[in-house]
Amino acid sequence: MNSRLVLIIEDEDTVHALCSRLLHSMGHKVISAKTLLEGRRAVNTDKFDLIITDLKLPDGDGTELIGEFGLKQPDAKILIITGSLAAEDYLKQSGILKKAVLLKKPFQISEFSRIVADMLV
């Protein structure tokens, strides 16, 4: 597998570290962000193959970024990770799941790895 550039936008340290370690072990380069602002800066600086974002971030809702990603980086795949129970219905109704994949927290390491591998084929 070729090394890909992945952006993680996640404010929970444990989840952020786990995702980062897994992606590194899969051979990918990782750029980290913990807020919407940091995520926006990264998207304006680098071209990503995959963007992983939480929905609930300290400075806003991760869904705000999904439309921006589509305009600035239309080829990037988007993986949403969230612990919100109501997120799936909202994401379906808003049409966001037509552009992104949803993974609910807590998730299994094997499930995360499989989804990332499938998205980066």
Q: Which residues pair with 80 in a beta bridge?
A: 53, 102
Q: How many domains, the chain?
A: 1
CA distance 101 to 87: 12
The DSSP call for residue 112 is: H
CA distance 65 to 37: 10
CATH number, domain containing residue 65? 3.40.50.2300
**Half-sphere exposure of residue 111: CA atoms within 13 angstroms, side-chain side:** 10
pLDDT in tens, the chain (121 residues): 589 999 999 999 999 999 999 999 999 999 999 999 999 999 999 999 999 999 989 998 888 888 888 888 889 999 999 988 788 888 888 888 888 999 999 999 999 999 999 999 8
Strands, DSSP E only, in 75-114?
A: 77-82, 101-104
Both tokens assigned to 26: 């899969």
The SS3 call for residue 100 is coil
pTM for this model (two decimals) = 0.93
* Domain of 67, in residue numbers: 5-119
